[in-house]
Amino acid sequence: MQKKLHIKKGDTVVVIAGNYKGQKGRVLEVIRKSDRAIVEGVNIIKKHTKPNAESPQGGIIEKEAPIHISNLLIADPKSGEPTRIGRRLDSNGKLVRYSKKSEEEIK
């Protein structure tokens, strides 16, 4: 059984540690096996590629590399500051995530 992560694809997150501390971005992909996430515009690397069908010219491509989820916190829906999240039952009896800072539900 895989463990439950506090970050999902599409969330807006803030980097709280490392070279990209303070940057915000949207989560493009979550890699549960290694507890990492790919965040838009964060942890950019340069990849040297040979010519292929996708890029007939080849060359150097800039792309996002995975960053460990322990270095990420969800941005508060109201203020945009990093916040911890909790889980609670809503009126329909469904488990929803909410911001610990503003008590607002995270979509």
Does residue 94 belong to any structural domain of this protein?
yes
Does residue 88 belong to any structural domain of this protein?
yes
List of residues 6+ apart from 90 with CB closer than 8 A: 96, 105
Cα 102–chain centre separation: 20
Could you tell me the CATH number of the domain that includes residue 28?
2.30.30.30
Strands 36-39 and 67-68: antiparallel
Does residue 70 belong to any structural domain of this protein?
yes
pTM (two decimals): 0.83
Does residue 106 belong to any structural domain of this protein?
no
List of residues 6+ apart from 67 with CB closer than 8 A: 15, 18, 20, 36, 37, 38, 39, 42, 43
Range of the domain at 95: 12-99
Does residue 3 belong to any structural domain of this protein?
no
Quick: pLDDT tens for 68-89.
999 999 999 898 899 999 999 9
Quick: pLDDT tens for 13-67.
999 999 999 999 999 999 999 999 999 999 999 999 999 998 899 999 999 999 9
Does residue 105 belong to any structural domain of this protein?
no
Does residue 60 belong to any structural domain of this protein?
yes
Q: How many structural domains are present in the chain? A: 1
